[in-house]
Each structure stands twice: as C-alpha cells, then as structure tokens.
C-alpha cells in the first residue's frame, strides 16, 4: 500500500524507545518534517529530557513542544468525570482513558498552529488507545491524516525494535531497576499490563506496585482528613484551599501512605478482547468515596438515582474514546446541572487500604432531622404511609384478584 504524502506530522513523543523509533521511521518512510509533542500529565518522570533527545534526532528547536498540562488535566478532564462517579465495569477509574483526549486535543492545536497535515501516536493495533487518540483527532480536525506505525510497520517485537534502533543509531537508555511491565502513569493513576499479568490467575508480585504501600504494611493508626466540595468539585483538604492538580497530588500521597487504590481486573477492551490489568488510583479512590458522601446529603433522590443509571453509559463513552462526542457532552451537561448544590465537607478515616466516611455536612443539605428522627416529631404523620402503600400495592391486588 502506497503511503499518503505527508508534509508535516505532529508526533505524541515521550522520548522513550518506542516513540524515538517512530520518530526516525516517520522521517525515513514518510520523508515528513516531524514535530514532537511531550505532555507532562504528572507521570512522575522528567519531560524536559525529551527535548535533548528530539534535538539529537534532527528535530528543529521550533518543532519541539513540551507542555505542563497537569492543572488542565485535573480541572477539565478528571474533575468532570468524577462528578459522575465514573467507574468502568464496576472497578476501573479510567486513569488512562481520560488522559488521551487531552493529548489528542493538544496535538491538533499544534498541527493547526504549525500547518501540519498529519498526526501520529505510538498506540498498538490491539489496544484501546489507538481508538481514543484517533476519535479525538478526527473529531477536532476531520481532514487530518493519522499515522499509526504499529498498524503499518513490520517491527512487531521488542527484538525487532532494538535491532532497528541499533541500525539507525538511536540511543537506548538502560534504566536501572526498570519494571518489566507495560505501564502508563499520570496524576490520576498508574497501570500495569503484560508479563505474568497475562495469566488472569497469577497474583502479581508485591514489588510490581510502585506507588502504594501494601495495606498490611500501612500505618497501624488511622488518619482522618476532610475534603471540602463546591459545585461537585473538591476545593480544599483539611481546610486548605488547593489547585486541582495540587489537591489530587495531595490525595495521592494520603492514599499511597495508607495502601489505598489498588485494583486487579480483567476488562473488556473496545477492540474485542479481554485484558487483565492492575491499577493504582490512590487519590481518585478517595475522591470517589468523598464525592458520593457529599452527594448523599445534597442530591434529590430521583436526581441521584438517575445519575447512577446513566453513569455506566458515560463511563463506556470515556473508555471507548468518545470524550468529544455530542452524546458525552449532552450527558456532561446533565451531570453538571446536578452539581450546582453539591457543596460542603466530608470527613474520612483512612486505614490499611480502606476509606470510611465518618461525617458529612453541607449548607445545602437535604437531610432533615425533623423528618427522620426516631423520637416524637410534629412534621410527619405516620398514618399517611398507609394510603401510600395501598396505592403502590393496588396493581398487585388487582392482578392477584384477576388470577385467582
């Protein structure tokens, strides 16, 4: 198949082995001018070294983009998702899924700025990320050419990648104590795939987990924290106001200390197969528990129940890569409408992998002690319940009489 002629391509570039090889491959196969984009999403690694690596491979200084996206990532992507209490298939907090649309958006912004006619990513042809990136690209720039090397080249093994790197003089850094797992990290989570995890019955080794203390080794004393909410988003911890990224980083520290946020799941990928993965989402796990707690006193019953009904659909849209789709935006508008009165403070107890809600208070609470007390009250007539029950049971009574 002949290659489509491409003049400039924006590559999502980490500076690692795979994307360094892709950079060289784009130059050799497409003869295109390559623009690199490296995003700091709080993955815990320095992103600035990517600049030197790109320069060493012949990229012009003006074609190298490195951006700190941590605040935008948490404020405009993580927080909106958490307003919905989003979980995919009951357990996955979508840490990788939610980062992809932001990266895609920035690549398209750079493409428009630099007059590029193509974008490229390093996702494989077996996974979800290719779908997430490319649905984002095509939503934001419908005419863009997408280059997915893993679907085109013959470099289908680690050995062939290393051979290509050696042949083309691509520097390979051997990191000390490098994890053997395929990993993705950002401020929300870190994921692990591959190696022994490909057997869904094999327990991961303890040293696989890089962020969280093992729950059995976590502190023997519980720790209490408070999280303050406004319009459904967390704004302060222990009374101290924080920016979105700082707040999530702080919650990560609490979660890591107390062994919170580990999950080991087999999930259904959008492309068809099942995949086993392990995730650490310490701060997100705490946020989810706290948000549901503040909603419990601020949301109307039917509002809360309808949110829970649409959440799996919303989660599936994000997992499958439809962040920019009109249906996701429609659901987001409905979710955000419910959050206008979600404010107040939640008190939590953290202890050995567990989060216990021990208090919640709000200036907009719907909890009425006068109505729910077990003591004498003057606002609720218990006799009213008899008619309520009779009317709700009427269809059962009629059906029972008709079928005698």
Catalytic positions: 18, 100, 129, 182
DSSP-based three-state secondary structure for 360 = strand
Tell me if 197 sits within 8 A of 278, measured CB to CB.
yes
Q: Which of 155, 184, 166 is nearest to 14 (CA)?
A: 184
Which residues, including other chains, have CB under 8 Å from residue 294's CB and lie 6 or more apart?
229, 342, 343, 344, 345, 346, 360, 362
Give, for 276, the enclosing helix (H) or strand (E): strand 274-280
Strand order in the sheet with 240-241: 240-241, 233-237, 223-230, 344-351, 354-361
Strands, E assignment, 112-157: 118-120, 145-147
Q: How many Cα atoms are found within 13 Å in the side-chain-facing hemisphere of 109?
A: 9
Distances in whole angstroms, Cα of residue 322 to Cα of each of 111, 129, 326, 357: 21, 12, 9, 33
Tell me if 252 sits within 8 A of 283, measured CB to CB.
yes
Could you write out the DSSP letters of every residue in 32-51?
PEEEEEEEESS-SS-STHHH
Tell me if 325 sits within 8 A of 317, measured CB to CB.
yes
Which residues, including other chains, have CB under 8 Å from residue 337's CB and lie 6 or more apart?
none
Return the structure tokens found at 236: 């302060």
Q: Can you state the percent helix, strand and coil of the chain, rounding each to 5?
A: 45, 20, 35
Distances in whole angstroms, Cα of residue 167 to Cα of each of 17, 21, 27, 229: 14, 11, 15, 55
**Greatest distance between any 2 Cα atoms in the chain:** 86
Q: Which conformational region is residue 177 in: left (phi greater than 0), alpha (psi within -120 to 50 degrees), or beta? A: left
Q: Rounded CA gap, 98 and 340, in Å?
A: 23
DSSP-based three-state secondary structure for 92 = strand
């Amino acid at each position: 198949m002949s290659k489509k002629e491409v003049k400039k391509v924006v590559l999502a570039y980490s500076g690692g082995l795979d994307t360094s090889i892709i950079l060289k491959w784009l130059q050799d196969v497409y003869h295109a001018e390559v623009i690199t984009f490296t995003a700091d999403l709080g993955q815990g690694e320095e992103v600035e070294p990517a600049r030197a690596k790109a320069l060493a491979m012949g990229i012009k200084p003006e074609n190298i983009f490195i951006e700190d996206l941590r605040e935008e990532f948490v404020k405009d992507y993580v927080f909106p998702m958490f307003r919905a209490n989003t979980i995919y298939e009951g357990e996955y907090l979508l840490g990788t899924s939610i980062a992809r649309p932001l990266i895609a958006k920035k690549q398209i912004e750079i493409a428009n700025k630099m007059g590029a006619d193509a974008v490229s990513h390093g996702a494989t042809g077996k996974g979800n990320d290719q779908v997430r990136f490319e649905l984002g690209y095509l939503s934001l720039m419908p005419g863009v050419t997408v280059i997915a090397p893993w679907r085109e080249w013959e470099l289908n093994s680690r050995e062939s990648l290393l051979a290509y790197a050696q042949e083309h003089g691509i520097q390979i850094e051997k990191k000390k104590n490098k994890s053997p797992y395929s990993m993705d990290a950002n401020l929300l989570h870190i994921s692990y795939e591959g190696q022994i995890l490909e057997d869904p019955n094999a327990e991961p080794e303890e040293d696989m987990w890089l962020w969280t203390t093992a729950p059995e080794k976590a502190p023997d004393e519980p720790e209490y924290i408070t999280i303050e909410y406004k319009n459904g988003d967390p704004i302060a911890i222990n009374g101290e106001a924080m920016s979105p990224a700082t707040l999530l980083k702080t919650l990560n520290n609490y979660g890591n200390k107390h062994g919170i946020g580990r999950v080991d799941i087999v999930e259904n990928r959008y492309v068809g197969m099942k995949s086993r993965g392990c995730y650490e989402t310490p701060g997100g796990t705490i946020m989810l528990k706290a948000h549901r707690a503040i909603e419990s006193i601020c949301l109307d019953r039917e509002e809360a129940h309808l949110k829970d009904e649409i959440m799996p659909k919303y989660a599936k849209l994000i997992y499958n890569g439809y962040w920019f789709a009109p249906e996701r935006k429609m659901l987001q508008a409905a979710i955000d409408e419910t959050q206008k009165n979600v404010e107040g403070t939640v008190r939590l107890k953290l202890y050995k992998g567990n989060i216990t809600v021990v208090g919640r208070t709000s200036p907009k609470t719907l909890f009425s002690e006068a109505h729910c007390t077990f003591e004498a009250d003057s606002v609720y007539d218990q006799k009213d319940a008899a008619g309520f029950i009779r009317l709700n049971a009427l269809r059962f009574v009629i059906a029972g009489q008709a079928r005698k």
